[in-house]
Amino acid sequence: MNIPGLGDLGKLYGLPSRLREIQEQLSRRTVEGSAGGGLVTATASGTGEVLKVAIDPSLYSGEDREMVGDLVAAAVNAALAKSRELAAAEMQKALGGLIPPGLAGLTGLPGGLGK
């Protein structure tokens, strides 16, 4: 929608519904992060919710429980980073440049648009 005299600001008219649509789409998408050469894998939604953590059975027999915890944390952090990247890319694509790329992450939503 182009509101006379507002230029690109007219595009903001449908923004709330578009953001809800993007959040819904992101909730159905998943990303994975892994650590320890794939011995620990975490799956997260596009909205940043950790859905699953898989630990290779070979890690159960080890004595180093602290290492397993470190690998789980690393895999979860990798998955969450990918989730944020996915959300930021989808938001930027949907907004068509309304929010400059450097500012997209400032507002709090996955991808920078608040919850």
Residues 45-86 pLDDT 10s: 999 999 999 999 888 877 778 899 999 999 999 999 999 999
Provide the CA 73 distance to its chain's centre, in angstroms: 16
The better pLDDT of the pair 8, 59 is held by: 59
The number of beta carbons lying within 10 Å of the beta carbon of residue 36 is 18
Confirm whether pTM is higher than 0.75.
Answer: no
Pairing assessment for the beta strands 40-45 and 50-55 based on DSSP bridges: antiparallel
Q: What is the mean pLDDT of residues 33-55?
A: 95
pLDDT tens, position by position, 87-106: 988 888 877 666 665 555 54
Domains along the sequence of the chain with CATH: 36-102 (3.30.1310)
* pLDDT score, position 18: 82
